[in-house]
Amino acid sequence: MTIQECYNALGGDYNEVIGRLKSERLVQKFVLKFPADGSYELLLRSLEEGNAQEAFRAAHTIKGMCQNLAFTALGNSSAALTEALRDGSLAGYEALLSPVKEDYARTVAAIGEYEASL
């Protein structure tokens, strides 16, 4: 699996990220790092515990990383969740969380497959 195919699989824009970061080595390095970042777990845990502020920060971090890496799909869904959580209320976040879950699973799966093919 090429990195390009990995991006296609996770719904990202490889051309965009390589345009910005300039080096495939860098892109690869950060893509492989992504699954290890704890923000997703923090997001789920904070939502479970009803900690809206922490959940907002975690969602915001995921959004930021996705923007940096041009993970478009997860970036969009996490951005929507971030905005919903911004004012500190947990009302109706569930509807926005499930696309984040789906996109995250897809993203991590694609990266896993890519890593296995290296």
Partner 1 sequence: MGTEKGRRKEKILVVDDSEMNRSILADMLSDEFDVTEAEDGEAALEILGKSADEFSIVLLDIVMPKKDGFEVLAEMNRTRMIEELPVVMVSAETASAQIERAYELGATDFIMRPFDASIVRRRVLNTIFLYAKQRNLLSIIEAQINEKEQNSSLMVDILSHIVEFRNGESGLHILHVRTITDLLLRKVIKKTDRYPFTEADISIISMASALHDIGKIAIDDKILNKPGKLTDEEFAVMKTHSMIGAKMLEGLASHRTNPLVRHAYQICRWHHERWDGRGYPDGLKGDEIPVSAQIVALADVYDALTSERVYKPPFSPETAKEMILTGKCGAFDPFLLECFSEEFEHIREDLSKNVTEREARREIRNYAEAVRHTGGTVASERTLKLLDYERMKYNFYAELTEEVQFEYLVPENILKLSAWGAKKFGVEQEISDPANNRRLQEQLGKDWFSGLGRALQQTTPGSPEFRRDCELPIGGELRWYSVIMRVFRTDGERSEIESVIGKLVDIHDTRLAMNELKEKSIRDPLTGLLNREGAGEELPAKLANFPAHKYAVAVFDIDLFKRANDTYGHLFGDKVLTEVAERLVHSTRVHDLCARIGGDEFLIVFEYDADIHPIIARVFKALCGPVGEFDLTVSMGVAEMTEKGQGFRDLFKHADEALYACKNAGRANYGFYGESKE
Looking at residue 94, its amino acid is E
Rule CB under 8 A: say whether 29 interacts with partner 1: yes
The CA–CA distances, whole Å, from 49 to 37, 62, 103 equal 20, 19, 22
Of residues 11, 62, 12, 69, the one with CA closest to residue 41: 62
Ranges within 53-92 binding partner 1 (CB under 8 A): 54, 56-57, 60-61, 63-65, 67-70
Calpha distance 33→111 (Å, rounded): 9
Q: Please report whether residue 33 would count as binding partner 1 according to CB under 8 A.
A: yes
Residue closer to partner 1, measured from CB, 54 or 115: 54
* Contact set with partner 1 (CB under 8 A): 16-17, 19-22, 26, 29-30, 33-34, 37, 39, 54, 56-57, 60-61, 63-65, 67-70
